[in-house]
Chains A and B, each alone.
Chain A
Amino acid sequence: MQLTELSAWQLGDLIRKKEIRALDAAEAVVAEIKTKNEKLNAFLSYDEAVIRSQAEGVQEKLDAGQVLSPLAGVPMAVKDNISTRLYPTTCASDMLQGYLPPYDATVIENLQQAGAVITGKTNMDEFAMGCSTETSFRGPALNPWNQGHTPGGSSGGSAAAVAAGLSWYALGSDTGGSIRQPSAYCNLTGLKPSYGLVSRYGLIAYASSLDQIGPMARSARDCAAVMDCITSQDSKDSTSSDHSTAFKASCYEATTGFNISLKGRKIALPEQALAQVDPAVRRAVSETAAVFKDLGADIVPFDLPYQDASVPVYYLIACAEASGNLARYDGVQYGRQPDNGHEMDLTAFYEHNRSAGFGKEVKRRLMLGTFVLSSGYYDAWYLKALKMRRMIIDSYNEMMRGIDAVLMPVTPSAAPPLYQHEDDPLARYISDTFTVDANLTGRPAIAFPCGINAGGLPVGAQLTGHLLADDILLGLVHAYQTQTSHHEKRPSSARKGEPA
């Protein structure tokens, strides 16, 4: 039995039934990380000793008869923008090299209570700004399906780790598609939960009103099990939903006790979205609609509201918020200070530290955000974007009445080759066109595998649902995954023991 080929809940089952020990799973994954990570660059940090001692700790609790969660003892990886006391948390930026948080994010506390074994921190675009991990200070992660291609981003390290068998599941964060797009590029199921369902306390902010932590795994059922571990109403996060506690446990139930018949469910398919994408993506998404139809769902037409506005509105708001959120990295507490800092005046000191500490893409977005908030431009840009966001939210509320979910592609194409649009930020930004609406509206959205293209790269589909109805999305995708095997496909490089 190849442990690394099991799903997370299958592995959790074996550990709970004492057929294997938590340490066995830990050893298996340590061996895989050691063979493959150097090439894949999926982890920025991991520590064998820390992994083993966590596994032993969880095993002790299980042996003492404690009931933790279905995922107790299952090793998992965490995106490097989620604060952990076990590992440095750097956001893949030079600015935060060596920063070891003195506190754990709420999701980390929740996971540890659930018996998770945290293997390490995964690569990402610097401060989550990017869609390829190319902006990482430590270089990009590679796509396990084809190492000349990007795993996506910004949670690309998490995606590469799970796809390559270096982890059973991982946490990502999603501000404009950063969980869903890499999930699609690496043949994973990834959920951007409803805004407020998962605490953001300890998530290093990119854009506070859009950021949300969520699971990336090999199936909807795994994602559901993770959601039950991480969801909580958090008094430390004012934007945390008071539904979170009641919601807990409903996700896993949605996939375990799910009625496979989708009779009465309405899924909307926006034809105009299909017209804009690669033929392979169009075909795969259409076939997905057909599967839902076979399962008994009604497929109804839909028009994506204000589609041209979504990406600009998203970048205006995200960059504006980021310009505030990242202002604290000024070299006083973080980053490298110049040797002759004491000779500089304060402004020169800040300029030096921020110019040296941030990468190109981060600087681009901070400049943009600073500009749109500046006196004289606020009304014309930022305020207008806020109004537009309100209109998009209202339109979705109106148009999704009576509809359970909207089905569409995650991205216009499969994973592009690395550095394809390096000098063309607009081309990169526009590929977020199908993912940003979920963040702007706060709605949950799930990406899931729906085929492999001619080049051997995975293609993903996406369902967007109703606020706080994340369990419905997980149930729909679970139903789909009982009828299809796209999600079970693994890249050849994921085979155990083979160097990547």
Chain B
Amino acid sequence: MTTYETIIGLEVHTELQTDSKIFCSCSTRFGQQPNTQCCPVCLGLPGALPVLNRQVAELALRLCLATDCSITPVTRFDRKNYFYPDLPKAYQISQLHEPIGRNGQLCLKDFPERVVRIHEIHMEEDAGKLTHDPWSDQSLVDYNRCGVPLLEIVSEPDLRSAEEALDYLATLRKLLMFLGVSDCRMEQGSLRADVNVSVRKTGTQALGTRTEMKNMNSFKAIGRAIIHESQRQIDLLNEGGMILQETRRWDENKEMSFAMRSKENAQDYRYFPDPDLPPVKLDKAWIDRVRQNMPERPEQKQSRYQHEWRLSAYEAEQLTDEPFLASLLEQTIACGANPADVSSWILGEWLQACRSGNCDASDLSVQPESLAKLLEMIRNNVITRTTARSVFTYMLDHQIDPESYVREHGLAMVNDLDDLKQMVASVLEASEQSVKDYLAGKEKAKTYLIGQVMRKSRGKANPAHVNKLVEELLEQHRQP
């Protein structure tokens, strides 16, 4: 039986994390009332003119440098002409002839031998959003998204499986987030990917005819679409059919794709240089400045955490999973907390709190200063870990200073040996059976008794002391 190899290339669109739009000063905030973030420029009113937001070029430069692209010394904008109601000028300002970056590369995480070449990175403006209202049979346009800056990152057809494609997307997403280029929220559409898929007989060199798949709203959908499309092409070839070069639309509910338009019906966008926007010179000084202000990349952070702070490889990887965790770690350490303590608290209590609250890590409002104070109290034996946990839970909903809170509520650890001795004695007195069990050789009974003492102290007893005292007093029971 013939075996086939799947060839995948990705076109990723990502919305940039700028405050204002690419060619005007309107806000880019997501989720506002429709058509409240518009001006003559992004509405394409007659006579209005675009002016490039330099921050867009800077963020684009960051990504180009981070992916080893060669930077186009004089980059230019082109008009892409097509009619659609969400595009008020009837052209999109994009880059065809001189994109900002070319010939870059990205290394995958789980496929270390695979280096994906990046064909180009270019800047462009987003279009508005159309909503069809089936009740009134009307289409409504929201122009708030018009002019939101986008980067399109086009890979070469270097990926060979859905897993590799998802690895590429995850790696790229993480990079974009750590560079501060994009928040990459797929549910808000700030990261979108179109997939080019073709297949060829294993061992052959020539590329097969490719199709382009659109409309996948999640990583899962992208993976499914790739598997589905490569199988569809293989089945077609095995039946003696031919692949048509076409654009297909993925339907996630039906887990199927449908042809949208063929190559013959491809639109002629009549690109030409936009005369309203002079070419942008990316001189060495500008590039150097961007390079100097480049945020640390995730893998750099990971290795620094291991070497500087002696965190385990596992911890370092977990903490660089998203920028928020890394920044929480770094800020809390900067407030004086011990790195190992911070790491274990974030990966333990913090993430646990998110799981039980069903929210993102960044949704918890505890400040790094407060977390550092809490952790220092544990380290200095001011409070027990049990107390710290309940204080932390309280901090999730209340703006408090943990030190004053502990003081005011008398939560400090009980270290006084006489007090503790009394407490242990009374517990042993009340638990005759357990004492007997212990003396009969049941080690477990001791754990129970310690638990009882801790409970009696409402978690405040110094656990090391309690442990020692319980042992001592039990031994006293042994000799009547």
Q: Which residues of chain A in 330-379 are interfacial with respect to chain B, using CB atoms and an 8 Å cutoff?
A: 330, 332-334, 342, 346-347, 350, 370, 373-375, 378
In the complex, identify which listed stretch (B84-92, B249-257, B299-307, B450-458) lies at the interface while the others stay far away: B84-92
CB distance from A318 to the nearest CB of B (A): 11
User: How would residues 53 to 88 of chain B score, 1 for a CB under 8 Å from any chain A CB and 0 otherwise?
Assistant: 000000000000000000000000001010111001
Q: Is the CB of B91 within 8 A of A324?
A: yes
Given known A327-B83, A330-B83, contact A374–B268 (CB-CB < 8 A): yes
**Nearest CB in chain B: distance from A487 CB, A:** 32
Kindly supply a per-residue 1/0 record for chain A positions 86-116, scoring 1 wherever the CB is within 8 Å of any chain B CB and 0 otherwise. Answer: 0001010000100101110100000000000
Contact residues of B between 248 and 291, Cβ < 8 Å to A: 268, 270-272, 275-278
Tell me, yes or no, whether A205 is within 8 Å of chain B by CB: yes
Q: Closest residue to A382 on the B side, CB-wise?
A: B272
Binds A, one of B13-21, B43-51, B329-337: B43-51
Decide if B295 is an interface residue (CB 8 Å cutoff).
no
Is B40's CB within 8 Å of the partner chain A? yes
B277 and A238 contacting across the interface, CB-CB below 8 Å: yes
| A237 located at the interface, meaning its Cβ lies under 8 Å from any Cβ of chain B in the complex | yes
User: Which residues on the A side are within 8 Å of B83 (C-beta)?
Assistant: 327, 330, 346-347, 350
Interface membership of B52, Cβ < 8 A: yes
Tell me whether A235 and B51 are in contact (CB under 8 A): yes
B46 touches A200 (CB 8 A): no
Contact in complex: A204, B47 (CB < 8 Å): yes
CA distance A83 to B45 in the complex (A): 10
**What is the CB-to-nearest-CB distance from A385 to chain B, in angstroms, rounded to a whole number?**
11
Whether A375 touches B268, Cβ cut-off 8 Å, given contacts A238-B276, A239-B276, is yes
In whole Å, how far is A407's beta carbon from the nearest beta carbon of chain B?
30
Tell whether A201 is near chain B: CB-to-CB under 8 Å: yes
Contact B45 A103 (CB under 8 A): yes
In the assembled complex, A203 has its CB within 8 A of some CB on chain B:
yes
Residues of chain A within 8 A of B278, CB atoms compared: 238-239
B47 and A101 contacting across the interface, CB-CB below 8 Å: yes
A101 to B48, CA, bound (A): 11
* Partner of A328 from B44, B52, B268, B275 at Cβ < 8 Å: B44
Which among A89, A327, A374, A382 is the interface contact of B89 at CB below 8 angstroms?
A: A327
Instruction: For the complex formed, measure the closest distance between the CB of B271 and the CB atoms of chain A, giving whole angstroms.
Output: 8
State which of A320, A328, A332, A375 has its C-beta within 8 Å of the C-beta of B46: A328
**Do B40 and A327 have beta carbons less than 8 Å apart?**
no
A320 and B91 alpha carbons, distance in the complex (Å): 13
A83 touches B270 (CB 8 A): no
How many interface residues does chain B have, given as a range?
A: 20 to 34
Partner of A208, one of B51, B85, B276: B276
A375 to B45, CA, bound (A): 28
Closest chain B CB from A235 CB (angstroms):
7
Separation of A329 and B278 alpha carbons in the complex (Å) = 25
Question: With A201-B48, A324-B272, A375-B268 in contact, is A102–B79 under 8 Å at CB?
Answer: no
Number of cross-chain contacts by CB at 8 Å = 98
Q: A236-B51, A239-B276, A320-B272 are in contact. Are A89 and B91 (CB under 8 A)?
A: no
CA A346 to CA B84, docked complex, whole Å:
8
A470 contacts across to B, CB distance below 8 A: none
Report the interface size for chain A: residues with CB under 8 A from the other chain.
45
Bound Cα distance from A213 to B88, whole angstroms = 25
- Residues of the B chain whose Cβ atoms lie less than 8 Å from the Cβ of A101: 40, 45-47
CB-based nearest B residue for A369: B270
Please, which residues of chain B bring their CB within 8 A of the CB of A91? 46
Q: In the assembly, what is the distance between CA of A338 and CA of B149, in Å?
A: 35
Q: How far is the CA of A334 from the CA of B270 in the complex (A)?
A: 23
Set of chain B residues within 8 Å of A332, measured between Cβ atoms: 85, 88
In the bound complex, CA of A328 to CA of B91 (Å): 8
Q: Does B90 contact A328, Cβ atoms closer than 8 Å? A: yes
A147 proximal to B (CB < 8 A): no
- Residue from A202, A238, A342, A370 with most neighbouring chain B CB atoms (10 Å): A238
Cβ-defined contact, A373 with B45, below 8 A: no
The answer to whether residues A373 and B272 also contact, given A238-B52, A327-B81, A328-B89 and a CB cut-off of 8 A, is: yes
Bound state CA distance, A382 and B278, in angstroms?
Answer: 18
Q: How far is the CA of A323 from the CA of B83 in the complex (A)?
A: 12
For residue B261, give the distance in angstroms from its CB to the closest CB of chain A: 13
- Contact assessment for A201 and B47 in the assembled complex, using a CB-CB cutoff below 8 Å: yes
Residues of chain A contacted by B85 (CB below 8 angstroms): 332, 346
Q: How far is the CA of A81 from the CA of B79 in the complex (A)?
A: 22
Q: Which residues of B contact A333 (CB under 8 A)?
A: 88
B88 touches A374 (CB 8 A): no
Interface secondary structure of B, over-half rule: loop
Q: How far is the CA of A239 from the CA of B274 in the complex (A)?
A: 11
B51-A238 in contact (CB<8A): yes
A98 to chain B, nearest CB (A): 13
Q: Are A102 and B45 closer than 8 Å at their CB atoms?
A: yes
A10 within 8 A of B: no
Given contacts A238-B276, A324-B79, contact A103 B40 (CB under 8 A): yes
A238-B278, A324-B91, A327-B81 given; A204·B272 CB < 8 A: no
Q: Provide the bound-state CA to CA distance between A401 and B309, in Å.
A: 68
Question: In the assembly, what is the distance between CA of A201 and CA of B39, in Å?
Answer: 13
Looking at the complex, which one of B49, B137, B268 makes contact with A237 (CB distance below 8 Å)?
A: B49
Q: Does A209 contact B (CB under 8 A)?
A: yes
Of B45, B88, B89, B272, which contacts A378 at CB under 8 A? Answer: B272
Which of A202, A209, A373 contacts B47, CB < 8 Å?
A202
When A202-B47, A205-B47, A374-B268 are in contact, do A102 and B40 touch as well, CB less than 8 Å? Answer: yes
Nearest A residue to B267 via CB reads A375
Given contacts A324-B81, A333-B88, contact A238 B270 (CB under 8 A): no
- Tell me which residues across on chain B come within 8 A of A330, comparing CB atoms: 83, 90
- The verdict on A228 contacting chain B, using a C-beta distance below 8 Å, is no
Chain A proximity of B278: nearest CB distance (Å): 6
Residues of chain B within 8 A of A205, CB atoms compared = 46-47, 276
Most buried by B among A327, A333, A375: A327
Complex CA gap A104/B88 in Å reads 20
Closest beta carbon of chain A to B81's beta carbon, Å: 6
The reply to whether the CB of A32 lies closer than 8 angstroms to some CB of chain B is no
**Please, how many angstroms separate the alpha-carbon atoms of A101 and B275 in the complex?**
23
Q: Does A437 contact B (CB under 8 A)?
A: no
Which chain B positions have C-beta within 8 A of A323? 81, 270
Question: Most chain-B CB neighbours within 10 Å: which of A237, A332, A350, A378?
Answer: A332
Judging by beta carbons under 8 Å apart, are A327 and B90 in contact?
Answer: yes
Shortest C-beta distance, A316 to chain B (Å), equals 11
Min CB–CB distance A226 → chain B (angstroms)? 20
B81 / chain A contacts, CB cutoff of 8 Å: 323-324, 327, 373
Residues of B within 8 A of A471 (CB): none
Q: CB-nearest residue of chain A relative to B46?
A: A204
Q: In this complex, which of B79, B81, B275 has the most chain A Cβ atoms within 10 angstroms of its Cβ?
A: B275
Instruction: For chain B, residues 352 to 389, give those with C-beta under 8 angstroms from any C-beta of chain A.
Output: none
Within the assembled complex, what's the spacing in Å between the Cα atoms of A323 and B82?
11
Contact of B270 among A235, A346, A374 (CB under 8 A): A374
The answer on a CB contact under 8 Å between A200 and B90 is no
C-alpha gap A62/B358 in the complex (Å): 67
B40 touching A375, Cβ below 8 Å: no
Q: Are A208 and B275 in contact (CB under 8 A)?
A: yes
Q: Is A321 an interface position by the 8 A CB rule?
A: yes
Given contacts A327-B91, A370-B270, A374-B270, contact A209 B49 (CB under 8 A): no
- 17 additional A-B pairs beyond A82-B47, A102-B45, A333-B88, beta carbons within 8 Å, are A83-B45, A101-B45, A103-B40, A201-B47, A204-B46, A205-B46, A208-B276, A235-B51, A238-B49, A238-B278, A324-B81, A327-B89, A328-B46, A334-B46, A346-B83, A370-B270, A373-B271
Interface residues of A (CB under 8 A from B): 81-83, 89, 91, 96, 99, 101-103, 105, 200-205, 207-209, 235-239, 320-321, 323-324, 327-328, 330, 332-334, 342, 346-347, 350, 370, 373-375, 378, 382
Interface residues of B (CB under 8 A from A): 40, 44-52, 79, 81, 83-85, 88-91, 137, 268, 270-272, 275-278
5 contacting pairs across A/B (C-beta < 8 A): A201-B48, A202-B47, A327-B81, A346-B85, A374-B268
List the 3 shortest-distance A-B pairs measured between CB atoms, nearest first.
A327-B90, A209-B275, A373-B270
